[in-house]
Structure 1
Amino acid sequence: MTLDIMLKRLGLSTVQRVLPELTPIAEKEAWSYTQFLERLVSEEIAQRAENRIANQVAKAKFPFQATIETFDFTFKSDLKLQMLGRFLGPELVSEHRSLILEGPPGTGKTHLCISIAYKSIQNGFSARFTTATALINDLRVAHDLNLALKPYLQPHVLVIDEMGYLGYGSGAADVLFQVVDQRYLKGKPILFTTNKPLKCIFSVTSPPLGRVTSPVEWQ
């Protein structure tokens, strides 16, 4: 059995790909066997991490790509990166932190929430993006509510965008409460954006969200 076949059977596709490129370099620079193996393994690990992030981003259904590094904090001088620091590390999930971003349209709330959710994916977690309208409509017409809830309950981080922008009609508060309450009981963060006063959000989602949420608002 050849080395190429063995690497394929073991699922070491990156090692299989880079081996022909690295072998002459290793020979020329007189790498030890350990150095050569470490380089091959590091290449495999790096590629798997990149693949995992790409897969999780696809599952998250972000409407556009956004990172905290591309957010223009000079545009909103009263919002500082330091204000969001505790939401950008693994403690967002491990310490069950949620967030409400309140402000008028065009202030970058969606960009920030996507950035935070993307950072959580980089930190090894899963995320999901939805608008409040899409979530409510999806759950309100579901034949099996428990089954329909799963995509919103399973990810470590859930972004609910544009809360309160439109009227939702009857039953909206009930299905939204199901998401908020069950995620709260599981200790899973929610990132909200809204153009409505915070008291309106709390009145819809009930006390559980209020106990775990840090609001950030700006004009």
Structure 2
Amino acid sequence: MKERATFKDFLADLLEAECLQREERKKARLVREANFPRPKRLEDFEFDKNPNIVPEQVNTLADPAWVKAGLPLCLIGDSGTGKSHLLIGIGTAIAEAGLRVRYTTTANLVNELAEAADEKKLNRTLARYGRVDLLCLDEFGYLDLDKTGAKLLFQVFTEREERRGIAIASNGISGPDPEETPPRLTGPVRHNPNHARACVGPGKQAPGAGSWATYWPL
């Protein structure tokens, strides 16, 4: 009986080890498929260099609940403030939680959508992006969008609204009033108040925009 129990324990340990290995392989695959340009993790972020960012608040975004609820997140700050690090770190945490993530820059996404539209493949491309649980869109404020580009990007936003998560990193905002925000930031989202309002202040909820996840200026 003792040998039988020992053998059962051995098989149980072997099965547990195999399950853990499969889980680690799945995490690695989801992170790889997210197409991050470089590895960045939230635990490596230098919070001491930016007092506006509270570690406890940022770490809550590693929980995929806001992504599953289809909430958007906006990280705004000047160059060198760490918004891309946070965007990639949050995306990595969400991927390791088992969700599908895709990282891209705004310029690359708009170019891809424009090419797809020219080749009559826009619906297919929109559907592909629509299947990911979290879309991480970097360098949002660096691109001056023309009317066509804004419309294409707006289609991505409307397809995901309240169904799939989206996280944006942008380099500037002039104030809490969307009408005061530079046009290049609000062009694709001006028609939707839930996507156009943000409040300057660490860890505050955007006023009048209940679908926004927590927003911090960097």
Q: Summarize deviations over 1:120-148 as a string: whole Å, max 9, x none.
A: 11111110000000000110121221111
Q: Summarize deviations over 1:83-114 as a string: whole Å, max 9, x none.
A: 22331112122332221000101111111011
Unaligned runs of 5+ in 2: 197-208
1:203 to partner: Cα distance: 4.3
Distance 2:215 2:79 in 1: 17
In the alignment, structure 1 residue 192 sits paired with structure 2 residue 168? yes
1:43 to partner: Cα distance: 1.1
Between the two proteins, the alignment pairs up a number of residues equal to: 189
Aligned twin of 2:102: 128
Structure 1: 4+ residue segments shifted above 6 A: none
In the alignment, structure 1 residue 175 sits paired with structure 2 residue 152? yes
In the alignment, structure 1 residue 150 sits paired with structure 2 residue 127? yes
- Aligned partners of 2:62 and 2:93 also within 8 Å: yes
SS of corresponding position for 2:108: helix
- Which residue identity does 2:169 align to in structure 1? T
Aligned twin of 2:188: 204
Distance 1:71 1:86 in 2: 14
Unaligned runs of 5+ in 1: 1-26
Further displaced range: 195-204 or 48-57:
195-204
Aligned twin of 1:217: 217
Distance 1:97 1:71 in 2: 23
Percent identity between matched residues is 29
The structure with more helix, counted as a fraction of residues: 1
Q: Summarize deviations over 1:134-179 as a string: whole Å, max 9, x none.
A: 0001101212211111332111011000002022334111011100
- Which residue identity does 2:135 align to in structure 1? L
Q: Report the TM-score when normalising by structure 2.
A: 0.80
RMSD: 1.9
Distance 1:184 1:166 in 2: 22
1:31 to partner: Cα distance: 7.1
Distance 1:42 1:163 in 2: 43
1:38 to partner: Cα distance: 1.6
Q: Report the TM-score when normalising by structure 1.
A: 0.80
- Aligned partners of 1:99 and 1:191 also within 8 Å: yes
In the alignment, structure 1 residue 92 sits paired with structure 2 residue 34? no
